[in-house]
Structure 1
């Protein structure tokens, strides 16, 4: 019995050893096809991500103009950044828009998610309207808002004039520019967060609401004691992504406000991304300094993200925490 088992084991080993080169060749051919299809992805990451980021970091330590090679100047760009009044204005506007637009997106998306919980006439049309900004071109939406808030012929000022009030120069002072840009950003950004919050509400067990109703809890009490605490993971994700989005705000300011050299009103809405764009593509002798501004924005986004990630332990309640 033992001899038979030994012979079978040896024959299996010999067959495996004879088939190993063929199996290895087959597996290598199969893997090489997969690697071939991954080459464009990795090439794009290397060229447009890693190399571009490394070159931008190196460029921030140089003085680079439109022509000629960059000249290394050390930390001069960062020293200039600390005393640049225009950069301070851009930072102030960026933080201001984040402080206004992030709560606006959270409130609007939460209200829309709550309404989508109920069944009513026109429910399908309402959901289509909620998701409309996510599928429309942002440029088209911004231009429509620019037409609505146009000083002389806009519909908003026409409505204000119709009720006997004085029309507002929406792009002529800091407050009105802040209002218009914040409204546009909220409208462009609330669709996907509303879907995320709606999906989060679907994961809340219905028996929790039923138990609360048996205890006599009203709608408001159920919302603040059950819905909001159990929705905090989705709310945190919405707050984090929206905050990052506001720090990268550019298109509304670029499309609605005149260039920096043509009007001082741009200062009312200039963000760090817009300031970087102006330095890199208009004032072409400032490409090195523009790279320093972009890295400062990166540090700002990282700091805000780390702050929110540390803060989540205080108000985010996950299901396993009990």
Structure 2
């Protein structure tokens, strides 16, 4: 064997060994992903084509659940509510950018205190957040209405009034997530080269002009990431609605129930209250398809935005 041939064989063996070690290192994560994520999705997709009995067991029904799903007005209403909440919740992204810009000002004192204050709702349990805001929104003794009464405004029962229920829920969602978005945007702002701002200042650009000409364009990848996770999280909304309105007959007694019911809440009721698990699986698969479709749309819009910038 020639020297070149031997070197080539040794290199191939080395590459093979490195590849095997790489596969060995990612095997635990890959197995966990397959067992706890991919397999449940495949199993749910299969169950969406079945009908479950009252005492367990299931039979294949084909597309019956999906035919029923597209004809069910409650599913359409829940989809609309979820999309409305998602769209309104995106208001939290520009708010987070503005607050991050204010905190990122040079020479600002107590930055760590502001970061902690904004991030505190993120590390608070969603159930605790929902219970707190349910008490604040109470129409009889809630602090929100008490504060409005001071200026002579008679506040509604925020969660029970169909006209205000969705907006009240969106406020809670923004309040509980703005801290996470703010920290991510703050990290993105601090990664922007200072030379860009110095050059803009030498050209006579003020802080507002620098914000729109430098900060926002440089933050577009960060804003894209935040928009992706915000949309996915909003489409999976459940805990806030469940705690603030309840489920089953208690929730349906709420006059604003039709404005607050989300897709995941509907899935929960069909799967664990009425035990219609096959139909519930079809609902959650439809939600999965919606999330994937919106994510693809966001990626396409991001590419156009980058090309435009």
TM-score by length of 2: 0.86
Aligned pair count reads 289
* Contact 2:50 2:59 (C-alpha < 8 Å) held by counterparts: yes
Structure 2 CA distance for partners of 1:71 and 1:102, relative to 1, 3 Å? same
Q: Deviations over 1:263-311 (max 9, x none)?
A: 2522211111111011001011x10000000000000000000000011
Q: Higher mean Cα deviation, 220-229 or 255-264?
A: 255-264
Q: Structure 1: how far apart are the matches of 2:52 and 2:169?
A: 32
Secondary structure of the equivalent of 2:38? helix
Q: Structure 2: how far apart are the matches of 1:218 and 1:205?
A: 17
Q: Structure 1: how far apart are the matches of 2:180 and 2:307?
A: 22
**How far 1:151 moved relative to its partner?**
1.1
Unaligned runs of 5+ in 1: 1-8, 14-26
* Contact 1:236 1:316 (C-alpha < 8 Å) held by counterparts: no
**How far 1:46 moved relative to its partner?**
4.1
Q: Decide which of 58, 61, 65 is 1:77's aligned counterpart.
A: 65
Match of 1:188 in 2: 176
Q: Deviations over 1:202-225 (max 9, x none)?
A: 121111111111111122111111
- Alignment pair present for 1:230 and 2:221: no
**How far 1:116 moved relative to its partner?**
2.0
Unaligned runs of 5+ in 2: 7-16
Q: Structure 2: how far apart are the matches of 1:139 and 1:212?
A: 46
**How far 1:261 moved relative to its partner?**
2.6
Match of 2:97 in 1: 110
* Contact 1:60 1:292 (C-alpha < 8 Å) held by counterparts: yes
Q: Higher mean Cα deviation, 237-246 or 126-135?
A: 126-135
**How far 1:138 moved relative to its partner?**
1.8
Runs of 4+ displaced beyond 4 Å: 34-39, 41-44
Q: Structure 2: how far apart are the matches of 1:43 and 1:219?
A: 50
Q: Highest CA radius of gyration, 1 or 2? A: 1
Match of 1:124 in 2: 112
Match of 1:4 in 2: none
Q: Structure 1: how far apart are the matches of 2:218 and 2:30?
A: 39
Q: Structure 2: how far apart are the matches of 1:65 and 1:227?
A: 57
Structure 2 CA distance for partners of 1:204 and 1:292, relative to 1, 3 Å? same
- Alignment pair present for 1:269 and 2:260: yes
Match of 2:14 in 1: none
Q: Higher mean Cα deviation, 119-128 or 107-116?
A: 119-128
**How far 1:145 moved relative to its partner?**
1.0
* Contact 2:248 2:273 (C-alpha < 8 Å) held by counterparts: no
Structure 2 CA distance for partners of 1:164 and 1:80, relative to 1, 3 Å? same
* Contact 1:232 1:317 (C-alpha < 8 Å) held by counterparts: no
* Contact 2:96 2:181 (C-alpha < 8 Å) held by counterparts: yes
Match of 1:297 in 2: 287
